[in-house]
Chains A and B, each alone.
Chain A
Amino acid sequence: METTHRLEWTLLATPLMAFLLVCLGFPAIVNLIYSVSDISFETLRSPEISGLGNFAAVLTDSGFWRANWFSLRFGLLTAILECLIGLGLAVFLAPLFKDRSWPIAILMLPLMVAPALMGLMYRLVLHEFAGPVPHYLWAWFGNSPAFLGPNSAFWTLIVVETLQWTPFAFLLFHMAYQAIPEELREAASIDGATGFARFWRIELPLMLPTLAAALLIRFIDGFRVFDNVYVLTGSGAGGSTTSLSIYIYEAFFKQAAIGKAVAASVILFAVSFAVLYGLNRLARRRRR
């Protein structure tokens, strides 16, 4: 295209680029500088470059690795559970959604609720005196576990996250399932593939790209979890539920360990960038 057009296009995209440069580019640079500086709340404007001490402090902090481990397990487990349940519901319940869509509206309601509020709601649901779950467990079984205690907090959070975000996976699979051409199903039925065989041989392979996308999105969201975990257990439960996001937040706000928090941010940034870059290359190669 001619240069005048090029200029026009550039001008149209400039506001967005300028905004991102200021609001994300500048913070990214600040992150990099602070991560190699000796920094405290008193010396914010005159950071002294001090080498890689902050990174060493983070990498030797067992809390950092525990937070990584929590985020990784949390992201993987919730992504797998949400996709399995979501896929099952979308396929098994598909006939119910043929002529009506209100059941879908009911299933996706949890997606509209702020995860922070959802977490607070579970504080009520699981409360030992005011909560219905312990109430009924006591009434029916004469016993109720400490849902947010050190031993069960992790699994309670897994259930909380899974119940709120399974609808997301469900919606994706529902759309993918509806997009499968009806002729394909009919042809499969004529060839004798019905029920589970049809699902396994025909429908599932066609939905694999959706499955991959859903797993990835849910893993990322689970890995960076903050809101519901923070309001439910904080870093409590013996530190067993500190996600990486909570680790960075607490290093900064609670311990005023700015250097450590920033170094952890830079590590997380580098890792997510590397992972995303790799995934993009993979996706591009597969498309070819």
Chain B
Amino acid sequence: MLNAIRWAVFALAAFAMNFPLIVTLVTSFKSAREISTNPGLWINAPTLENYATVLTVSDRLNIFLYLTNSFAVAAMGTLLAVALALPAAYAIVRGRFGEKTLLPLIVNLRAVPLVIFAIPIYMMFQFMGLLDTRLGLGLVMTIVNIPLVLIILVNAISDVPFELDEAAMIDGVSRTGILFKIVGPVCRPALVTSMIFGFITAWNEFLFGLMLTTSKAVPVTVGASFFFAASGGGVQWGVAAAVMMVGALPPMLLGLVMYRKISGTMMAGAVKG
């Protein structure tokens, strides 16, 4: 009996939290005519025309460009963050380098509202010609990702038995060699987790995409709103719903594949933070 109540509570919570996703998914399969007569949660005549419209490239709207931008920026922001953080994490754990200064500083960075750096970064990018480029936005995503990636990797390397290092050192392997040949491979699960986490975070970022891009490097979180004003008249809600589904799908799929790891990572981030 109590379990039946639990299931009911679970169903209610799941429904409420996922409600916008359900509504958007349902609306994306309705024709414009059906939306105006039937805004409810039921579809009378399912259609794919909204997705066809979204996937049609026009001179003003190009969903493939936004998706490619998001992908490139998220991939760069993730890989660069890991490449910078891995050796630093190794130095922090094994060499106790900057354990009292560098590590807390970067960990705290996670809690600083990044908008305070937005204006100087905008000016710097303007000066360096990085405005509206994937490279520029990718650099910003690297900054955004570094704190959590560093925390994950520091935790992971702390769990690697020191005997592995010692054995390799006796064999004459250099520090860098140990990092790339031994510690790195042992930490592969943590590397994968941090990359997926970083990718989702960067894909979902909005503020810097809005500030630093205008046309060429627009990510999908920003580009999605372009479809709202597409036709001059009112919003075409079917098309808008379809573009939101397309933009939200990649991180959702990644999250579903990885959800067991993600809760553990959040815990690690919270405890250290």
A269 touches B116 (CB 8 A): yes
With A114-B221, A125-B23, A227-B206 as known contacts, state yes or no: A107 contacts B9, CB within 8 Å: no
Does B1 have its Cβ within 8 Å of any Cβ on chain A? no
B87 touches A135 (CB 8 A): no
Interfacial residues of chain B within 187-202, with CB under 8 A of chain A in the complex: 200
For A27, the closest partner residue in chain B by CB is: B120
Residues of B within 8 A of A135 (CB): 39-40
Q: B21: which of A110, A272, A280 is its contact (CB, 8 Å)?
A: A110
The interface residues of chain A, by DSSP majority, are classed as helix
Binary contact readout B78-113 vs A (1 if CB under 8 angstroms, 0 otherwise): 000001110110111011011000101010110111
B271 touches A213 (CB 8 A): yes
Residues of A within 8 A of B175 (CB): 8-9, 12
Q: B7: which of A31, A96, A216 is its contact (CB, 8 Å)?
A: A96
Does B176 have its Cβ within 8 Å of any Cβ on chain A? yes
Residues of B within 8 A of A9 (CB): 91, 94-95, 97, 175
Does B29 have its Cβ within 8 Å of any Cβ on chain A? no
Binary contact readout A71-106 vs B (1 if CB under 8 angstroms, 0 otherwise): 000000000000001000100110110000101111
Does B244 have its Cβ within 8 Å of any Cβ on chain A? yes
Q: What is the CB-to-nearest-CB distance from A247 to chain B, in angstroms, rounded to a whole number?
A: 9
B106 touches A30 (CB 8 A): no
For B94, the closest partner residue in chain A by CB is: A9
Does A184 have its Cβ within 8 Å of any Cβ on chain B? no
- Give the number of chain A interface residues (Cβ < 8 Å): 100
Residues of B within 8 A of A132 (CB): 23, 39-41
Interfacial residues of chain A within 5-28, with CB under 8 A of chain B in the complex: 5-6, 8-10, 12-13, 15-17, 19-20, 23-24, 26-28
Does B27 have its Cβ within 8 Å of any Cβ on chain A? yes
With A9-B97, A12-B91, A217-B270 as known contacts, state yes or no: A124 contacts B23, CB within 8 Å: yes
Q: A12: which of B176, B203, B228, B259 is its contact (CB, 8 Å)?
A: B176
Interfacial residues of chain B within 232-265, with CB under 8 A of chain A in the complex: 235, 237, 240-241, 244, 247-248, 251-252, 254-256, 259-260, 262-264
Q: A113: which of B10, B204, B240 is its contact (CB, 8 Å)?
A: B204
The interface residues of chain B, by DSSP majority, are classed as helix
Interfacial residues of chain B within 62-90, with CB under 8 A of chain A in the complex: 83-85, 87-88, 90
Q: What is the CB-to-nearest-CB distance from A175 to chain B, in angstroms, rounded to a whole number?
A: 5
A93 touches B6 (CB 8 A): yes
Does B135 have its Cβ within 8 Å of any Cβ on chain A? no
With A24-B117, A172-B270, A231-B225 as known contacts, state yes or no: A15 contacts B211, CB within 8 Å: no
A19 touches B204 (CB 8 A): no
Residues of B within 8 A of A58 (CB): none
Residues of B within 8 A of A93 (CB): 6, 9-10
B206 touches A114 (CB 8 A): yes
B267 touches A172 (CB 8 A): yes
Does A130 have its Cβ within 8 Å of any Cβ on chain B? yes
Query: Please, how many angstroms separate the alpha-carbon atoms of A222 and B206 in the complex?
Result: 15
Does A148 have its Cβ within 8 Å of any Cβ on chain B? no
B12-20, B51-59, B158-166 - interface stretch = B12-20
Does A66 have its Cβ within 8 Å of any Cβ on chain B? no
Query: Please, how many angstroms separate the alpha-carbon atoms of A109 and B41 in the complex?
Result: 19
Query: Please, how many angstroms separate the alpha-carbon atoms of A24 and B106 in the complex?
Result: 11
Query: Please, how many angstroms separate the alpha-carbon atoms of A130 and B239 in the complex?
Result: 12
Residues of A within 8 A of B9 (CB): 89, 92-93
Query: Please, how many angstroms separate the alpha-carbon atoms of A17 and B85 in the complex?
Result: 10
Does A157 have its Cβ within 8 Å of any Cβ on chain B? no
Does A188 have its Cβ within 8 Å of any Cβ on chain B? no
Query: Please, how many angstroms separate the alpha-carbon atoms of A8 and B97 in the complex?
Result: 10
Q: B14: which of A6, A107, A172, A217 is its contact (CB, 8 Å)?
A: A107
Does A111 have its Cβ within 8 Å of any Cβ on chain B? yes
A96 touches B3 (CB 8 A): yes
Q: What is the CB-to-nearest-CB distance from B171 to chain A, in angstroms, rounded to a whole number?
A: 17
Q: What is the CB-to-nearest-CB distance from A252 to chain B, in angstroms, rounded to a whole number?
A: 5
Residue in A28, A101, A113 whose Cβ sees the most chain B Cβ within 10 Å: A113
Query: Please, how many angstroms separate the alpha-carbon atoms of A115 and B14 in the complex?
Result: 18
Binary contact readout A207-231 vs B (1 if CB under 8 angstroms, 0 otherwise): 0011001101100100110110011
Residues of B within 8 A of A266 (CB): 116
A224 touches B113 (CB 8 A): yes
Residues of A within 8 A of B24 (CB): 121, 124-125
Q: What is the CB-to-nearest-CB distance from B231 to chain A, in angstroms, rounded to a whole number?
A: 14
Q: A23-B139, A117-B248 are in contact. List 16 more A-B contacts (CB 8 A).
A: A16-B146, A16-B150, A19-B146, A45-B127, A93-B9, A107-B17, A109-B21, A114-B206, A117-B244, A129-B36, A132-B39, A164-B17, A217-B111, A231-B206, A252-B122, A272-B112
- Subset of 25 A-B contacts with CB under 8 Å: A1-B95, A12-B88, A13-B98, A16-B88, A19-B146, A20-B106, A27-B124, A31-B120, A89-B10, A96-B10, A101-B260, A108-B259, A109-B255, A109-B256, A112-B204, A120-B244, A121-B20, A124-B20, A124-B241, A129-B36, A131-B39, A135-B40, A244-B113, A249-B115, A268-B116
Q: What are the 9 closest A-B residue pairs judged by CB atoms, nearest first?
A: A9-B95, A27-B120, A114-B204, A224-B113, A112-B255, A116-B206, A121-B20, A30-B120, A16-B88
